[in-house]
Amino acid sequence: MMRLALTVNGERREVDGVWEGESLLYALRERLGLPGSKNACEQGECGSCSVYLDDTLVCSCLVLAGQAEGREVVTVEGVANGDELHPVQQAFVEAGAVQCGFCTPGLIVASHDLLRRTPSPSDAEIREALAGNLCRCTGYEKILDAVRLAADRMGAA
Ligand code: FES
Ligand code: FES
């Protein structure tokens, strides 16, 4: 058991009793009260647990909580602007890209990452950036629509 100190969504947080083999995903959901990141596969295959770790997109199910010691994590909760949806979130809702919603938080973080690097991505760039995020419901077309919509709006803003 150990104590973990890290920054989450801009706030310094400490948790006790973290077990050595525990994933960052578990710590975020069960200890830090941030259930936005989902645990669908816990094997790095679905992307539903995507978060930023020191500004790099990772699958939090594959990162040990201990590896986040002293580092900065941003979750889907931190992507939103307080109670206001981020333009990427808003676009997902409007484009009908949220069905069961299980994949959505990971897709939001991955799309956010794409759009900060590539503000006007081609369809191929969108597909590539989101290739690690599985969605069982939408057939991906609406997800592409959502990312295009977000890109347009963010470009116009
Ligand atoms: S839960 Fe982490 S990639 Fe699926
Ligand atoms: S909306 Fe259900 S898995 Fe994507």
Q: CA-CA distances (angstroms) from residue 124 to 35, 40, 128, 144?
A: 31, 26, 6, 10
Ligand 2: centre distance to CA 127 (Å): 16
Residue 55 backbone class (left: φ over 0; alpha: ψ -120 to 50; beta: rest):
left
Ligand 1: centre distance to CA 47 (Å): 5
Give the DSSP H or E segment for 148: helix 141-156
Chain segment 21-75, per-residue pLDDT in tens: 999 999 999 999 999 999 999 999 999 999 999 999 999 999 999 999 999 999 9
Proximal ligand: closest to the CA of 103: 2
- Pocket around ligand 1 at a 6 A CB cut-off: 39-42, 44-49, 59, 61
Q: What pLDDT, on a 0 to 100 scale, did the predictor assign at position 115?
A: 97
- Pocket around ligand 2 at a 6 A CB cut-off: 99-103, 135-138
pTM check: above 0.85: yes
